[in-house]
Structure 1
Amino acid sequence: MCEVTSSNFLELFPLIIEQIDKSCFLAIDTEFSSIDTNLSIKTIKEFYKQRSNFVKQITIFQFGLAIFSTTSLQHKYHVTIYNFYLNPTSINPIDVKYIIQSSSIKFLAEYKFDFNKCFYSGISFINQTQENILLNQNQPDKNYSLSINERQYLNILFEKINQWLITAHLGDKIQYELNNNEKDILNDYLIHSEIRRCFKTIWTNIQMVEQKKILFIEHITKEIYEERMENNNDDFYLFIQSLIGFTKLIRYIRDNYRKTIVGHNCFLDWLIIYDKFIDNLPLKFEEFHTLMNKNFLFSMFDTKYLALEMKQYLFTRQNRSNISNYVETLSMSTSLSSLYDLLISKYYENLVFLKPIIEITSTDRYKNEVWKHEAGYDAYMSGIVFLKLIYLYKQKKFNKIEFNEHQSIFDICLNEIQLYKNRFYAIFIPYISLNRYDINKKYKKKLQQCLVLEKHNKEQLDMSDIISHFNSYCSMEYEINRNLNKIYLLFQSEQCQRRILKDYLNHPLYKIEKFHWFKHSLFIQYSFAISSIVLTGICISFLVKRRM
């Protein structure tokens, strides 16, 4: 695994591009600043509207990229993992506001997320609309909004320039070394821009001399200054390129990559990728559908959707009874962590006669430790799950893998799952499709199980905290009552219900029980209350009449 920040992104960029070009597929994952808790969605249009509004209010902290490539051995793969720390560009007039949710920060902190690397060394990024706004701001006298540290740094520099100008003659030059603390405070272009905005008779240039960053200052006439300013667009466009940052990598993939990209339960990831790196999300799902087909010409696979489509091969009755024979903690959940644990176990080896062998070629960090919920590691797990699933599907459905000198085993297995490309998991319809000719049918799954959750003290519930706890069990919908103190968990799996009831038996904070129509139905409760009122009224009326 390689951690990538603003300090080494440009240095690593050519190597990453080279590895992408040689890959057989990529796996991605994102970590972001908030959790989406509004999941009571009935149609694809409602879903897209709600999710796109959510994406516009958050930012991305981390982007994970796992680059898988074939080797000379047919069933062996190399994977290189990158973990990119990101921080949105902040330069007037681009000043992004976003939500940071305490439960999301708590969750990331529990998994040792390094917020310092994100906020201090995060790679900048902008989308096309933001870039266009900046390009229209190319004005010589533009006054950029600067931080306190940046302004203090410039004030010190301006004072030194003023002292020098008192005795300087036309053509005189001085050098100013930018030390390690100073050289990263302000972008080179902003140093030039602010100096040239305030001083109309000097010209500046920055060069690296013996690994030192040197600011060269020259005293010139106002006429020469104006002439140079007219021909100075190159500096501005280089400045814009520095702000584009991580977006440069996404644009390269968009424009050049034509293979396969995978993620787990990744429709939200693609919304984030489009909004943060490509352009602002459109208002309607139909427009987003069209733009995704226009911008991304590679195949996308969602490993959660794939696992559910292949559950007959993963979780047949015979296989279900054998799961506990290998690892006690294995389950039939399709969460990323559960699938990964299942597919790297002996249980998987017992299902197939040929398995892929994956070797990590980057640092030893991921070889010796588990880093779940770090974007790079989650991307790696998604890629592992994808490889193992397509091998399983080919062998279980066709009972063989035919070796072909013109095709790799990977391509042979990949060809068999083309039906599932560009389809993403959704709880309310069979799938969300971004294929040109797929129809996103309105279809409601029958959710057979319902549990009712509340606190023992009847206090209001934190929806985001509940979702973070229960999403790991199985796919479910959440309905919350008006008082926000009772949540209904709706799902399909009876086994999931048994696990939850067992885990939360005698829980110190939560009370959880099966839904009973008479006990929990609002309609029954209101009807009972109304009936009681009516009955009380009749009794009072009867007693009054008797006394009269």
Structure 2
Amino acid sequence: MKRHLVVRALSRTLTLVPLYRRSCTSFSTASSSFAIKNVTRSNFSSSLADLRRHVRDSDFVSIDLEMTGVTSSPWRESFEFDRFDIRYLKVKDSADKFAVVQFGVCPFRWDSTKQSFVAHPHNFYIFPRQEIGGDDSCYEFLCQTSSIDFLAKYQFDFNVCIKEGISYLSRAQEDDVRLQLHSAYEDDPLESPCTTKEIKDVPLVRMADILFVERMRNKITEWHDNLLQIRTGSHKTPENYNDSVDQFQTIFFRTRPAIKLNGFTSRQQRLIKSVVEKSFKDLAYIRVTDGSCLQQTIVYTDSKRDLEMLMKEVKENRIKEAEMKIEAAIGFRHVIDLLSSEQKLIVGHNCFLDIAHICRKFVGPLPPNLEEYVPLVQKHFPFIIDTKILLNANNILQLKMKKSSTSLAKAFAILCPHIASGVGSFGSALNNSVAVEVQVDDMRSSNWNSGAKHEAGYDAFMTGCIFAQSCNHLGIDFTSQTMLMKENKLQSYINLLYLSWSSGDIVDLKTGQTRTETSALSGFKNQQTKILFPNIVLIWGFSSKLKAREIKDSLTKVFGLTSVTSIFHLDKTAVFVQFSKPELVSDFLKLKSTIEKKNDAIYVLHPFSDLLEGGLTRAACYEVYKEICASPISKTLFADQAEAVGLDSKLFGNTAHKTDPLADSESTIDTKTSETTGEMLGLVSC
């Protein structure tokens, strides 16, 4: 059984351009041993500037992500009994709960002079650190033990990720933070955002407070009077007015005389503020940012107009500082904004989950259904191609793959042997393949291969190489001025993504339509039974000792030998049962309800006795499964999940009126045509 751990972040952390633009730059041709470009907080700014140039000049950009997990519960795995909308809900749950810790971006540009592609692989470490105020829950995520173990197996550096990973804000988070900060400054320009709720008039309830206030008033009065005497010329200017412990330090704030307050507690600061506001009309108490902390300052103004100007300056400066903080907190999302604004062809391998993570982490919360999700993706990434679909759906590429597995590593080894083996351009000539050179900073090689599988940057590189070779096998002319996303030979594959590779379910991002691609299943055992969702009933909460064969036997004894076509376990206490006819679903639910209401001793001999033993067995139609999958809760067992969602109480509560004759009479109504019975059974749109 997989364990899941909640991890709290350690601190609060595409306009079209000419496609074949070329630049003449000299690079050193180095050995193939140089490392991939790893990007962390320390080199993000400079790397982003380089990446902007590479993306704008690119013909396509390949991506890959590494996450902390995939499924939050065993029953959230992808099953053959999952409908299209259910598959989306499971992917949504994964994108909601797990973090992206590594993001690979690899722009590919066709070099017409060398007749080869130039790839720029980047491996970004990212971490959802809270750098600025906002919803704390956005910085929590799950870790799936098997996924963390997998990352560790391939030498993933967790220390670099957590300590040096680039933080980010989604567009939705940015909007929220910007609104919060600006609202705070609009409400009170002299108050810091975190102190806008402070009470200006602090009650003096302790003798120590009274004595402190009087002492502060005297000190400020002395400084104030001395300042006025200096201004009138009746007093010699002292060098400064610093006290012995430097709690009062004379400074100039925007050319105005001021006192910088040091070493006071927050309560003492509030008391001093109260003194200034009550006793000195020409002094202003303000808070300004000094490095990483807020500095309390008393500033002298020589007129009401001067005070208004000071207030305006402070407000404008704070807004400017807030904008800078927000800009810095956006972090890695600048890369996503770049890919979106440039509208390049995005290439991934089996990338539906990757795209969902990108939208969730860098755009905002995912919509509740696939129909709303599709236009969201199209808005930000109008051209996406999945190399796994390309390899499975194209006859030429299927021959090249020799009907082998289309996993990333296998496809790379078969289609790009000259790159996988490090032979480079020499091997590409022998194999009639397109050459790919790799450039990292000023290092460039035609036989580069880091071999770091399951490193996001390298996997993105492999994905791009597979796509380049696929295009070459399809006879696409790279020297043409036609952009790849407009290439006729690719139109049948662009914006098609696998909802589930194992089932061959595909969503067309252009139309929102879904379908099952049978060619994708050629390497798998053919489905024995056609899945008919109206024929499916969901049963859970029975004894874990019961096996599928025993459940089928109990059902066929009542409804006939051919009544059950298949049974599929979600986990040890939950199953899908597909009946041969849809009306058998309602017949089963009615009979189960009747048995539980009567509760007669004779029913101990009923074929359902083992299935219903213990009184915790629940059953519902397929739509209830959708309701459970849509919940953000994730319990390990499906039965516990149903209870947590509240379905158990609805089902039990609506069938518990054993002495109500009306309830008994309703149990005989045909559930297929009666909403009343559906409500009685706790069903949802069955």
Query: Which residue of 2 is the match for residue 39 of structure 1?
Result: 78
- CA shift for structure 1 position 130: 1.3
Question: Using the alignment, how far apart are the partners of 2:378 and 2:390 within structure 1?
Answer: 21
Is residue 82 of structure 2 the alignment partner of residue 3 of structure 1? no
What is the identity percentage for the equivalent residue pairs of Structure 1 and Structure 2? 25
Query: Which residue of 2 is the match for residue 454 of structure 1?
Result: none
- CA shift for structure 1 position 419: 1.1
The CA RMSD over aligned residues, in Å, is 4.3
CA contact (8 A) 1:315 1:332 kept: no
Q: Paired residue for 2:525, among 419, 431, 448?
A: 448
Query: Which residue of 2 is the match for residue 439 of structure 1?
Result: 513
- CA shift for structure 1 position 310: 2.6
Is residue 332 of structure 2 the alignment partner of residue 246 of structure 1? yes
Residues 326-475 of structure 1 aligned to structure 2 (within 5 Å): 332-345=404-417, 354-362=432-440, 367=448, 369-394=450-475, 407=481, 411=484, 414-425=487-498, 426-427=500-501, 430-437=504-511, 439-441=513-515, 448=525
- CA shift for structure 1 position 220: 2.8
Q: Paired residue for 1:98, among 141, 146, 154?
A: 141
- CA shift for structure 1 position 343: 1.4
Query: Which residue of 2 is the match for residue 149 of structure 1?
Result: none
- CA shift for structure 1 position 479: 6.1
Structure 1's unaligned 5+ residue stretches are 145-159, 176-194, 207-212, 321-330, 395-400, 452-458, 461-477, 487-529, 534-548
CA contact (8 A) 1:88 1:125 kept: yes
Q: Which amino acid aligns with 1:277?
A: F
Question: Using the alignment, how far apart are the partners of 2:319 and 2:57 within structure 1?
Answer: 36
Distance 1:388-1:105 versus aligned 2 partners, 3 A rule: same
Distance 1:214-1:404 versus aligned 2 partners, 3 A rule: closer
Question: Using the alignment, how far apart are the partners of 1:283 and 1:241 within structure 2?
Answer: 29
Is residue 389 of structure 2 the alignment partner of residue 305 of structure 1? yes
Q: Paired residue for 1:280, among 322, 347, 365?
A: 365
Deviation digits for residues 22-61 of structure 1, max 9, x if unmatched? 1111000001111236111532211111111221111110
Deviation digits for residues 42-83 of structure 1, max 9, x if unmatched? 322111111112211111101100111111336301111111
CA contact (8 A) 2:396 2:473 kept: no
- CA shift for structure 1 position 308: 0.7
How many aligned residue pairs are there?
A: 404
Question: Using the alignment, how far apart are the partners of 1:221 and 1:353 within structure 2?
Answer: 80
Distance 1:351-1:251 versus aligned 2 partners, 3 A rule: same
CA contact (8 A) 2:286 2:296 kept: no
Deviation digits for residues 458-485 of structure 1, max 9, x if unmatched? x99xxxxxxxxxxxxxxxxx96564389
Distance 1:173-1:384 versus aligned 2 partners, 3 A rule: farther
Distance 1:198-1:107 versus aligned 2 partners, 3 A rule: farther
Question: Using the alignment, how far apart are the partners of 2:419 and 2:44 within structure 1?
Answer: 40
- CA shift for structure 1 position 353: 6.9
Larger Rg computed on CA atoms: 2
Deviation digits for residues 137-161 of structure 1, max 9, x if unmatched? 21243339xxxxxxxxxxxxxxx99
Distance 1:110-1:230 versus aligned 2 partners, 3 A rule: same
Question: Using the alignment, how far apart are the partners of 1:405 and 1:30 within structure 2?
Answer: 30
Q: Give the secondary structure class of the aligned counterpart of 2:121.
A: strand
Question: Using the alignment, how far apart are the partners of 1:197 and 1:407 within structure 2?
Answer: 71
Structure 2's unaligned 5+ residue stretches are 1-35, 185-190, 196-241, 261-268, 274-284, 302-306, 421-426, 529-543, 546-566, 576-606, 611-686
Distance 1:196-1:240 versus aligned 2 partners, 3 A rule: farther
Q: Paired residue for 1:143, among 194, 200, 216?
A: 194
Query: Which residue of 2 is the match for residue 235 of structure 1?
Result: 321
- CA shift for structure 1 position 424: 1.4
Question: Using the alignment, how far apart are the partners of 2:92 and 2:244 within structure 1?
Answer: 51
Query: Which residue of 1 is the match for residue 122 of structure 2?
Result: 82
**TM score, norm. by length of structure 2:** 0.52
Query: Which residue of 1 is the match for residue 113 of structure 2?
Result: 73
CA contact (8 A) 2:122 2:457 kept: yes
Q: Give the secondary structure class of the aligned counterpart of 2:358.
A: helix
Question: Using the alignment, how far apart are the partners of 2:271 and 2:452 within structure 1?
Answer: 48
CA contact (8 A) 1:196 1:203 kept: no
Residues 2-21 of structure 1 aligned to structure 2 (within 5 Å): 2-21=37-56
Question: Using the alignment, how far apart are the partners of 1:162 and 1:289 within structure 2?
Answer: 67
CA contact (8 A) 1:30 1:64 kept: yes
Distance 1:196-1:29 versus aligned 2 partners, 3 A rule: farther
Distance 1:35-1:479 versus aligned 2 partners, 3 A rule: farther
Query: Which residue of 2 is the match for residue 24 of structure 1?
Result: 59
Distance 1:480-1:166 versus aligned 2 partners, 3 A rule: same
Q: Give the secondary structure class of the aligned counterpart of 1:419.
A: coil
**TM score, norm. by length of structure 1:** 0.64
- CA shift for structure 1 position 7: 1.4
Distance 1:196-1:315 versus aligned 2 partners, 3 A rule: farther
- CA shift for structure 1 position 8: 1.3
